[in-house]
């Protein structure tokens, strides 16, 4: 178990990562909520599985109010956010109240957005319960909700005071959720940390089985990578954009499917496979593209539903990462090195999409 720190323009976030992290952070979290009104944003499923772990916070806070939200992307709407704001106001929430996100990436995105806007901002903490959230989504201060036209299109940067990534919570995850989270770890490893990619390749079986001993060093390594990138580029104007590898098409796939049938990490995996095709056209050695594609193939991704290239292209054009000059693609250039590439024409993108949708795992 490791204790890390993320320094950002607003101060510092303490990050605990590993098995037993909640117990290790208990005393400091209790002081953080002592005598305060505490709001906990979570889902009924997470509360049923892990709600007893909130007992120390309940004992320390002046009062604790559970704010249940739907599972998955359905939680990330302005309507749900408005309901939470009203509930918090009626419960007596104040500028010095606290909010805890207790769940996966969608819960964290929504809860951070709600905390950042309520009374112009209250302190919040992330207690992520999925692998995807522990390796990526809970760290870095991104918060957002969705609009019908695109994912994460309304949001703000707000760093949590605390992030506690207890890998003991991951034992209850289904294999598909572990697969989804591993995609985000592979994303970072492919562009930033070849030794981490080696670890995931050699230990994929135990990782997909949810073994805490295998997951703990991967979570800690991914957290350290994310911290280093965010500290260099807190507002995502430079190198932090590398962490969007696979997300441009991934978000379009999620939107096109109505956020049904594929988990976020699974959609990102397909986005990475497509980006590898574009990278091959720009000099990425075939063996390096094949290595990442083979690892993603070992995850046994669910098949893509029927999708149309023009529709996906239109959705990518509305992506929040698009600029007035067009899309910037994150493409691997070599093991451990990525690049932001502009100027890829829509004709090439649409033609490549047609070939990709026929054979997503092929690299030629």
Question: CB-based contacts of 82: which residues, under 8 Å, 6+ apart?
Answer: none
Phi, psi of 52 (to 5 degrees): -65, -20
Examine the residue annotation and report whether 8 is marked as an active-site residue of this protein. Answer: no
Examine the residue annotation and report whether 240 is marked as an active-site residue of this protein. Answer: yes
Examine the residue annotation and report whether 94 is marked as an active-site residue of this protein. Answer: no
Structure tokens at 219: 């979570």
Catalytic, out of 73, 177, 184, 266: 184
Number of residues assigned to the chain: 364
Examine the residue annotation and report whether 251 is marked as an active-site residue of this protein. Answer: yes
- CA 278, CA 329: separation in Å to the nearest integer? 9
Examine the residue annotation and report whether 187 is marked as an active-site residue of this protein. Answer: no
- CA 130, CA 104: separation in Å to the nearest integer? 5
Catalytic, out of 50, 251, 263, 277: 251
Examine the residue annotation and report whether 152 is marked as an active-site residue of this protein. Answer: no
- The DSSP output letter for 124 is E
Contact between residue 182 and residue 131 where contact means Cβ atoms under 8 Å apart: yes
- CA 314, CA 312: separation in Å to the nearest integer? 5
Q: Nearest CA to 15 among 178, 158, 170, 126?
A: 126
Helix, strand, coil percent content, the chain, rounded in steps of 5: 55, 20, 25
Phi, psi of 64 (to 5 degrees): -125, 130
Catalytic, out of 179, 187, 240, 315: 240
- The DSSP output letter for 323 is B
Catalytic, out of 36, 159, 177, 244: 244
Catalytic, out of 73, 177, 236, 266: 236
Catalytic, out of 247, 277, 280, 315: 247
Examine the residue annotation and report whether 3 is marked as an active-site residue of this protein. Answer: no
Examine the residue annotation and report whether 264 is marked as an active-site residue of this protein. Answer: yes
- CA 192, CA 33: separation in Å to the nearest integer? 36
Examine the residue annotation and report whether 50 is marked as an active-site residue of this protein. Answer: no
Runs of H (alpha helix) within the chain: 21-33, 44-50, 55-60, 78-90, 105-117, 131-132, 175-192, 194-202, 204-208, 212-232, 247-256, 264-281, 286-298, 309-317, 346-358
Contact between residue 336 and residue 194 where contact means Cβ atoms under 8 Å apart: yes
Q: Find tokens 């919040």 and name the residue.
A: 124
Query: 168 exposed, middle or buried (CB, 10 Å; 0-12, 13-18, 19+)?
Result: middle
Examine the residue annotation and report whether 120 is marked as an active-site residue of this protein. Answer: yes
Q: Which residues carry out catalysis? A: 120, 142, 184, 226, 236, 240, 244, 247, 251, 264
């Amino acid at each position: 178990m490791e204790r890390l720190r993320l320094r950002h323009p607003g101060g510092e976030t303490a990050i605990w990562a590993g098995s037993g992290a909640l117990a290790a952070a208990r005393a400091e979290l209790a002081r953080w909520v002592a005598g305060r009104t505490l709001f906990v944003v979570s889902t009924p499923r997470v509360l049923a599985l892990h709600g007893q772990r909130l007992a120390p916070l309940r004992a320390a806070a002046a009062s604790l109010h559970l704010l249940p939200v739907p599972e998955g992307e359905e939680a990330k709407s302005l309507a749900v956010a408005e309901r939470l704001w009203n509930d918090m106001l009626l419960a007596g929430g104040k500028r010095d109240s606290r909010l805890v996100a207790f769940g996966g990436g969608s819960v964290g995105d929504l809860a951070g957005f709600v905390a950042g806007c309520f009374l112009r901002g209250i302190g919040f903490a992330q207690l992520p319960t999925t692998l995807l959230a522990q390796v990526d989504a809970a760290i870095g201060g991104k918060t957002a909700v969705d609009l019908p036209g695109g994912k994460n299109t309304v949001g703000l940067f707000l760093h949590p005071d605390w992030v506690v990534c207890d890998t003991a919570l991951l034992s209850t995850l289904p294999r598909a959720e572990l697969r989804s989270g591993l995609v985000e770890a592979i994303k970072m490893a492919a562009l930033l940390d070849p030794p981490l990619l080696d670890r995931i390749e050699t230990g994929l079986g135990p990782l997909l089985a949810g073994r805490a001993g295998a997951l703990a060093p991967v979570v800690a390594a991914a957290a350290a990578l994310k911290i280093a990138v965010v500290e260099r580029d807190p507002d995502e104007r430079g190198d932090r954009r590398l962490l969007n590898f696979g997300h441009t098409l991934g978000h379009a796939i999620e939107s096109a499917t109505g956020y049904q049938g594929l988990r976020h990490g699974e959609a990102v995996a397909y986005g990475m496979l497509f980006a590898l095709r574009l990278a091959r056209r720009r000099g990425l050695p075939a063996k390096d593209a094949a290595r990442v594609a083979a690892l993603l193939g070992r995850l046994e991704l669910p098949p893509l539903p029927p999708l149309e290239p023009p529709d996906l292209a239109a959705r990518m054009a509305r992506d929040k990462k698009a600029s007035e000059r067009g899309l910037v693609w994150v493409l691997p250039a070599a093991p451990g090195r990525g690049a932001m590439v502009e100027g890829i024409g829509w004709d090439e993108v649409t033609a490549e999409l047609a070939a990709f949708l026929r054979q997503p795992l092929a690299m030629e």
